[in-house]
Structures are given as structure tokens and as C-alpha cells.
Structure 1
Amino acid sequence: MQRIILIYGLIAGAIVSGMLVISQPLLSQGIITYDNSMIVGYTSMVIALSLVFFGIKTFRDQEGKGKISFGVAFKIGILITLIASLMYAVSWEIYYNTAGGDFMEQYTSYQIKKQREGGATEEMIKATQKEMADFTELYKNPVIRFGMTLLEIFPVGLLITLICAALLRRKEILPQNA
């Protein structure tokens, strides 16, 4: 079980971390915008975390002889998710501390520009500037930043794990000899 979890977790982590490292410079260059960056980010997370399905299925077919309980499937999936999530958060920390130190300034500028284009009042813009300044200060703390980064990906993996564990406990879903 540990081998399967490690292999699929590392592959999922490599995919999501690779997409993070690739997409951030594209965001800085304007190829990806802040408006669609969430779609790009969460799509890459879903693609990477689809390996939870394959990890659970591999265990079910190879070690479970075509059978797996929800609990065992959940354990495998959540551990794969945890490995991928930790790799993602570590990758963000490395990127942020080497090449992405101006991320919060860029994001703040984007938010203010978006408000101005939307016709916000000066009062609303000042409130957003204060919010963003407070958030930027909070974001300087690496423990908080790491936790926030984990909270981007881990819930996605939890949901995928729950779905996959529920599906794959049924032996008629992609049976071993199919």
C-alpha cells in the first residue's frame, strides 16, 4: 500500500507543482490573467488529483484482488492527496521566495484596477487597499502562507477522494479483468 501511495502521490504532486511553476510566469506576462487563473489552477489540481482514482484502483486490483472497502480506499486517496498537497505548498513557497516575491503587489494592483474599471467609489477602493495591505502583511508569515496554500488544494483532493472511494468500493466499477 505504501508504495502505491508514494508513487501516485509523487506523480500527482509533480504534475500540480509543475503546472504551478509553469503558470506563474504566464500570469506575470499576462498570458494567463487573474480572472482565469483560478480556472487554470483548479483544472490542473483536478487533473493531477485524478491519480487518486488510479492509485485506489491499482491497490484494489493488485492487492485487494478486485475488492476494497470505503475506509481503505479513503485512506489511500487521502494520503495521495496529502503528498500532492504538501508538494504543491512547498513548490509555492520555493517559487514565492525565489521568483514570486512581488505576487501580492501585482495581485493588489490587479484588484484595484478591476475596481476602478468597475466604477467603484474612492471609498470602496480605499477599503480594498486597506484589506489588501492587511492581507499582504498576513501573507508575509510563511506558516500562514503555507497553510493557505494547503487550503487551496487539499479540499479538492478530499472531494475527489470521497468520490473515488465511494465508486471504487463497488467491484462492478471498472472490474479488475475489464
Structure 2
Amino acid sequence: MIAGLVVGGFEIVTFVAFSGMPPMKYGMVIGYTTMLIALSAVFVGIKRHRDVDRGGVIGFWPALGVGLGVSFIAGIFYVIAWEAVQAMTHMNFATSYANAIIASEKAKGASADALAKLTADMAAFKVKYANPMYRLPMAFAEIFPVGVLVSLVSAGLLRNSRFLPARRA
């Protein structure tokens, strides 16, 4: 829950501070940095489970399971925060995103045919994104792969009981 509160809180603060969508070149950096900071709770959760609940020893698969559980919960919080951001800021993400992508391609000198195809693709994206059954899993898919990566690394490191061993009183 800590990871979810951190990532969700940062998400809300970021979008409210920018009064909607942050600039494209900073948005992804801010977003993924926040995810990594929040998902450091995966490492802490696995270590605590290893040291407190399992006597200082944990295998790779049980550690990975704990990490994926923490990542899943953080992902749910992330999706809820994303929906809250859109409601609070009245932001139309799909339109803002589509306009930014089209403007970027225009700036690169894309041909009229390429821009026409991109504009049609972005119009289709906006229709799909309006459906929560498309939007919610898409938001979850932004954070969960990062959680899987952090879980794999953390499980690999913490399966070794000599890596950051528990302190004995």
C-alpha cells in the first residue's frame, strides 16, 4: 500500500501542479522516476518478509511472489489515482496526447499522407481511450512492468541471506 500511496500521491500532485498534462518531454521522466521511487517498497517488502517472517532466508520464487504482490497493489492505486487526476483536472488526456504526437510529427517534417494517417490513428485512439475497459488496463500496463523488473532484481538479490542480513538484537 505504501508504494501505491507514493505513486498515486506523486501522480496527483504532478498533474495538479501542471494544471493537467505536464510537458511531454518531462512527463515520462517524472512518471517513471516516481514509479521507481514508489516501487522501492518492493525491495523493502521482500526484505522485511525474509528477515521477520522467514527467519532471514527466502527463495527466489517466494521473494518474487511478494514483489509481484506489492507491484500489483501499487498498480491498482496508480490506476485509481489516474482516474482521480482526470476527474480533478477535467483533463482530456487522449486529446492532449494525440495533439502532442501530431505536433511532434509535424515539427519533424512528416509528409501530408503520414500526418493524415497519424491523425486518423489518433482519432481511433481517442475513441478507444474513452472506454474504461481499454483505459484502465492501459494505465495498469504503464506501472506493472516496472514492478516486475524491480521484483525480479529484488528477489535475485534478497534470495542471498548474506545480502543485507537481518540485524540481530
The TM-score with structure 2 as length reference comes to: 0.92
Tell me the CA shift for residue 28 of structure 1. 4.6
Tell me the CA shift for residue 25 of structure 1. 3.3
Contact 2:20 2:91 in 1 (8 A): no
Q: 1:67 to 1:44 in 2, by over 3 A?
A: same
The partner residue of 1:65 within 40, 48, 55 is: 55
Amino acid corresponding to residue 8 of structure 2 in structure 1: S
Amino acid corresponding to residue 153 of structure 1 in structure 2: I
Partner of 1:4: none
Which residues of structure 1 form unaligned runs of 5+? Answer: 1-9
| In structure 1, C-alpha distance between the alignment counterparts of 2:70 and 2:102, rounded to whole Å | 38
Per-residue CA deviations over 1:147-177 (Å, capped at 9, x if unaligned) read 0001000011011111111110101110112
Q: Check if 1:81 corresponds to 2:55.
A: no
- Cα RMSD (Å) of the superposition? 1.7
Amino acid corresponding to residue 24 of structure 1 in structure 2: F
Q: Check if 1:175 corresponds to 2:148.
A: no
Q: Check if 1:116 corresponds to 2:106.
A: yes
Which residues of structure 2 form unaligned runs of 5+? Answer: none
For residue 170 of structure 1, give the secondary structure of its aligned residue in structure 2: coil
| In structure 2, C-alpha distance between the alignment counterparts of 1:89 and 1:38, rounded to whole Å | 16
Per-residue CA deviations over 1:77-119 (Å, capped at 9, x if unaligned) read 1111111000101111222234244222212221122122111
Kindly tell me the number of residue pairs found equivalent between the two proteins.
168
5 Å-filtered alignment, 1:150-161, equals: 150-161=140-151
Partner of 1:52: 42
Identity %: 35
For residue 49 of structure 2, give the secondary structure of its aligned residue in structure 1: helix
Contact 2:58 2:158 in 1 (8 A): yes
Tell me the CA shift for residue 36 of structure 1. 2.3
Q: Check if 1:94 corresponds to 2:53.
A: no
Tell me the CA shift for residue 26 of structure 1. 4.2
Contact 2:7 2:78 in 1 (8 A): yes
Partner of 1:38: 28
Partner of 1:22: 13
Amino acid corresponding to residue 160 of structure 1 in structure 2: V
| In structure 1, C-alpha distance between the alignment counterparts of 2:20 and 2:136, rounded to whole Å | 25
Q: Check if 1:143 corresponds to 2:143.
A: no
| In structure 1, C-alpha distance between the alignment counterparts of 2:16 and 2:97, rounded to whole Å | 14
Contact 2:51 2:57 in 1 (8 A): yes
Partner of 2:123: 133
Tell me the CA shift for residue 27 of structure 1. 4.5
